[in-house]
Structure 1
């Protein structure tokens, strides 16, 4: 998947002149030097659309720069033109039904009520089309541009964690976004992680600067600092989202974020997103994963190791919950397991503030989905609200 930063133009015609990106003063890289997508294990060039800076797609979008694979940027509005992000997927034959499923999700979001306060924290789709590549067609999704992901922010932060005020704002907006998805759109995201939460830009000038830099000093080049331009966090990437008004028991979520009902192959619904957020919070605030799932015998992720970590943290699950899972007999004997220990060492809060934060986590990390709080209840959590009003 390729993320390109584009300039959206109303139409090709006599009033519009494409920008000229033929400045020859750029560093020429050797064809044998692997960069970006080429560094991915198993990379095959024919799977990707060979986007060129200055290229015009659908008679409307001129590519003005590439932010790198998996990266994005933020929105700026101008008279007669605006900036957007174009996500160009690998060739359609490899994506299959997922391409159409993702469009159905965005259409449902578009058809849902727009006045919910969480709507503005969910990324919208502006346009979609297919473009022909050397070997196949490629699906293109057009979004309002955003800046960097929370994961990128963490990598650039020397302590590898979110400061408390930023975490509180991020969680507040994320809970609003999830409440909108769950209650108004009837959508389950299923893939909430730091690189699927992206920041906006408060200062529009960074986008025009990006374009001018590409015109005058063509890439490769270093990204400019723009922490001062970060805007509200937005929940992105609905490629794995599903309809919440349908029955589900299939395998979902990144390994370390899998909810217990998913691992046990029990029916699941909206509350898998709540469990997912509870795990992500630990990553964002502690700079490490709450669960690893690493099996010492096999030296890799295994569901049995993940469940053992859950038991050490939360205590044993109830017999009623275990009875729901098709895979329960694979992991649990009739005697069950009774070991339990407190949450891992918590390093960044003390006293009542620490207890409030742990209560927030416990509202999300429960074996039984019905015992987990809803997104709206979490948005009103005492720790979140206290941090927002400091």
Structure 2
């Protein structure tokens, strides 16, 4: 099926799309005499993702073809550096299998410059995709436990074994594995029998993505995307993390470490379980995310920040008086607590779940539990 040239599809719909940045992948193309592209799996602002047949190993792989290197800066090299660090660390750790594996990396020459390509074992879909397809749009307790157990193992491996801080944990960066690899052969055969819709624009083909069929049994979750990850064995002050998942020390520009991942998981876990964001950070004056609005929401939920956190913050004077009073020129929301937020939980499960959340949602990083400690939590290990 041919799509009209003036109808925008896939990566063309992205706000900052520039066609010259993307490598013009063609289905059937063979990279480095080894990987034959058999179908498109997805797209994003920095890459397109393709299912390919590894002609040497006789298996399927996912190829992440990045936009041209000049447009990416250091992000891609950073991701490779993280994978190299992982390769040097213990493979025996149970969290190693919960972190995406890099099989190969190479560069291809495009019309406007070089493009880096990463080869990974193919995965099914993201947790975000699974939530969007469910009704209501949230994970049940059993689903959240399934995701978080492997996520904490992954973080324990990254933090303790690899000294890596992920900094960008969200439902879109956690994907489910596939136990039945026949679904990849099925996708390849479907593409042959019924080619996906596509369009031709100025000598390049824009393909539509083809979803991998739901496997009979969903594989374990895998933490992906290390483009924003940093090494934990150096000092950090930079601004990282998705806005609404940003840890207080990052927002206040205080030095931060592995514990920002723990805060991040706490916020994300609440959102996935309740189907509502815990924090929004939308400033009523600007109608957009602002630090002061986010801090106000945290204060309303957890009370004022500890003085020692403010003492090591580079932005404390912008939001707080010397006595620790919030002076950012915005009203605090009505004080509430996790216990007061409407929830679907029964009283027993609510008590355990909120105890679990409080191990992550603490102003002071040192008061947050480690990934290894959270894996042992009573709510998480409850058999339900």
Is the shorter-chain TM-score for this pair beyond 0.5, marking a shared fold? yes
Corresponding residue number in structure 2 for 1:291: 279
For 1:241-252, list aligned pairs within 5 A.
Answer: 241-252=229-240
Find 1:234's aligned residue among 199, 215, 222: 222
2:82 and 2:229 in contact (8 A); partners too: yes
Deviation at 1:97, TM superposition (A): 1.8
For 1:11-90, list aligned pairs within 5 A.
Answer: 27-70=1-44, 80-90=57-67
Find 1:208's aligned residue among 181, 185, 198: 185
2:127 and 2:176 in contact (8 A); partners too: yes
Establish whether residue 135 from structure 1 lines up as the match of residue 135 from structure 2: no
1:188 and 1:273 in contact (8 A); partners too: yes
Residues in 1 aligned to 2:77 and 2:349: alpha-carbon distance in whole angstroms: 45
Q: What SS does structure 2 have at the residue aligned with 1:64?
A: strand
Corresponding residue number in structure 2 for 1:372: 368
Q: What SS does structure 2 have at the residue aligned with 1:228?
A: coil
Deviation at 1:370, TM superposition (A): 0.3
Residues in 1 aligned to 2:28 and 2:54: alpha-carbon distance in whole angstroms: 20
Corresponding residue number in structure 2 for 1:301: 289
Q: What SS does structure 2 have at the residue aligned with 1:68?
A: strand
Corresponding residue number in structure 2 for 1:181: 158
2:21 and 2:68 in contact (8 A); partners too: yes
Q: What SS does structure 1 have at the residue aligned with 2:87?
A: helix
Establish whether residue 275 from structure 1 lines up as the match of residue 279 from structure 2: no
Deviation at 1:324, TM superposition (A): 0.9
Corresponding residue number in structure 2 for 1:9: none
Mark the runs of 5 or more structure 1 residues left unpaired by the alignment.
1-26
Deviations 1:85-125 (A, max 9, x none): 11011110011122222111100001101111111000011
Find 1:334's aligned residue among 310, 313, 322: 322
Residues in 1 aligned to 2:156 and 2:286: alpha-carbon distance in whole angstroms: 39
Normalised TM-score (structure 2): 0.90
2:23 and 2:110 in contact (8 A); partners too: yes
1:191 and 1:254 in contact (8 A); partners too: yes
Deviation at 1:228, TM superposition (A): 3.1
2:35 and 2:52 in contact (8 A); partners too: no
Deviations 1:355-383 (A, max 9, x none): 10011110001001000000000000000
Residues in 2 aligned to 1:75 and 1:117: alpha-carbon distance in whole angstroms: 28
Residues in 2 aligned to 1:130 and 1:77: alpha-carbon distance in whole angstroms: 16
Normalised TM-score (structure 1): 0.89
Deviation at 1:345, TM superposition (A): 2.0
Which shows bigger deviation, 287-296 or 65-74?
65-74
**Number of equivalent positions:** 362
2:103 and 2:121 in contact (8 A); partners too: yes
Question: Would the alpha carbon gap of residues 65 and 186 (structure 1) be closer, same or farther in structure 2, given more than 3 Å must change?
Answer: same
Deviation at 1:79, TM superposition (A): 9.4
CA RMSD after TM alignment? 2.0
1:175 and 1:378 in contact (8 A); partners too: yes
